[in-house]
Amino acid sequence: MNLRRDVFQAIADPTRRAILLLLASQSLTAGAIASNFDTARPTVSKHLSILTECELLQQEQTGREIYYHLNPVKMKEIADFIEPFREMWDDRFNKLEAIMKNYQAKKS
């Protein structure tokens, strides 16, 4: 089995997205991250290693502790990656909404 992780698959998981969100404003240790979730600590560790493996997170040794923080370059990449697909639909639906409001106004 190929262990190389797809960045896209990494962010598809809700817990991992929550971890990324948590780390958006601060660097935290694995323990501090785990305390924010009901999930068992080893599960959180696994999520952290997946996120680190695909470079969404970076580790930094500060004294005896290892802190996790976001890798902004990689985060930018994935934000851009799914966004055009979402925008394509959002744009279509915005148009649909505008057209139908106009349609309704004409009829009444």
Partner 1 sequence: MERKTKIDAREGKQDLVITREFDLPLELLFKAYVIPEIVEQWMGTRVVKLECKPHGSWQYETSDKQGNVVLRTNGVIHEFVPEQKITRTFQMENTPFPVQLEFLVFEKLTGETSKLTMQIVYKSIADRDAMLKLPFAQGINMAHNRLQEVLNTLK
SS3 88: helix
Residues 9-48 that bind partner 1 (CB under 8 A): 9-10, 12-13
Q: If binding is defined by CB under 8 A, does position 2 make contact with partner 1?
A: no
Q: Shortest Cβ distance from residue 26 to partner 1 (Å)?
A: 24
Q: Token digits for 9?
A: 């698959």
When asked if residue 87 is in the footprint of partner 1 (CB under 8 A), the reply is yes
Phi (first) and psi of residue 64, to 5 degrees: -90, -10
What type of residue is 49?
A: S
What backbone torsions phi and psi does residue 75 show, to the nearest 5 degrees?
A: -60, -40
Q: What residues from 46 to 85 belong to the interface with partner 1 (CB under 8 A)?
A: 80-85
100 touching partner 1, by CB under 8 A = yes
Can you list the positions of beta strands (E) in the chain?
28-29, 57-62, 65-70
- 11/33 with CB nearer partner 1: 11
Where on the chain is the footprint of partner 1 (CB under 8 A)?
Answer: 6, 8-10, 12-13, 80-97, 99-101, 103-104
